[in-house]
Amino acid sequence: MDNKELYAFFNEYLRTATYPVAVKISNDDQLPPKVKYASDIFGYRIAVCQGITAARRLGRTMAFSAKDHACGLAHIYLGHKETNELYEQGGFVHPLYTKDREAGAVTAAAEIHLDVGAFKHLIVAPLQRADFEPDIIIIYGNAAQIVRCIQGELFNEGGAIQSSFMGRCACGAYITVPYKMKKCNVVIPGGGERVFALTADDELAFAIPKERIQNIVEGIKGTHDSGVARIPTPFFAITTKPAFPGCYEELDRWVGIKE
């Protein structure tokens, strides 16, 4: 499938409220035609999660290099900057997310980073408008829609999706994990993304590396065809016999409802 066909597929089977986002991680010296860096568009740096929200809600395409990131943590996660001793000792996790630096160091050690200098820039775009092959597709949805993605990923091969959650730095979860580990990832957006990118409280995300896109398509279609796992959810109770309070018995006799 090309990107427009993929968009049509996800729209038909998932019906998400926002566009799936295509992410390209590139070492090219030049950006594609008509693509601009985020800081050139806005005149200031923004967080990459803001760019992803602009892609999925506004249909905007933009690129990020080191000069475009407003969030210092993104520089570390995405391989623009090496960690230092303070970082590794939990100095940027404590005091916001742990009671002390020792606990912060444990959290920092659990992070997945891209190798330093791994790429020059990344591009985010709404899937249907992306004129490149995505390295990652990010889908935002409610729990039922993300469950459909999980079911789709597991349809051909079985098993379970292993995801880890730190409540922070979602860009690591939906960019670095699928890109570096070549696996799908379920993402609970963190506090920063909710504050700056306006991610809703009922939204989750699902990240798909390019190596798993065809598998996801086959699996979502296969589980849909089984008849149980679908969007909208097939509430079979709709066709069951209704039960009313006992006080309705006289009303039933009056209007002529009989077994």
Per-residue pLDDT tens, the chain, 259 aa: give them: 999 999 999 999 999 999 999 999 999 989 999 999 999 999 999 999 999 999 999 999 999 999 999 999 999 999 999 999 999 999 999 999 999 999 999 999 999 999 999 999 999 999 999 999 999 999 999 999 999 999 999 999 999 999 988 888 888 899 999 999 999 999 999 888 999 999 999 999 999 999 999 999 999 999 999 988 899 888 888 889 888 898 888 899 899 887 6
Q: What share of the chain is helix, strand, coil (3-state, %, to 5)?
A: 45, 15, 45
In the beta sheet, which residues pair with residue 136? 23, 209
Give me the half-sphere count of Cα atoms (radius 13 Å) on the Cβ side of residue 60.
17
Element (H, E) at 199: none
Output the pTM of the full model: 0.93
First to last CA, the chain: 53
- Tokens (6 digits) for 9: 């597929």
- Tokens (6 digits) for 80: 């623009």
CB 37 within 8 A of CB 62: yes
Helices (H), 59-202: 72-77, 85-88, 101-109, 143-154, 170-171, 177-181, 191-196
CB 45 within 8 A of CB 157: no
Q: Burial of 101 by CB count in 10 Å (0-12 exposed, 13-18 middle, 19+ buried)?
A: middle
- Nearest CA-CA partner of 7 in 156, 150, 169, 126: 126
> Which residues lie closer than 8 Å to 174 by C-beta, 6 or more apart?
52, 136, 138, 185, 187, 205, 207
CB 124 within 8 A of CB 55: yes
- Nearest CA-CA partner of 76 in 68, 66, 67: 66
CB 33 within 8 A of CB 61: no
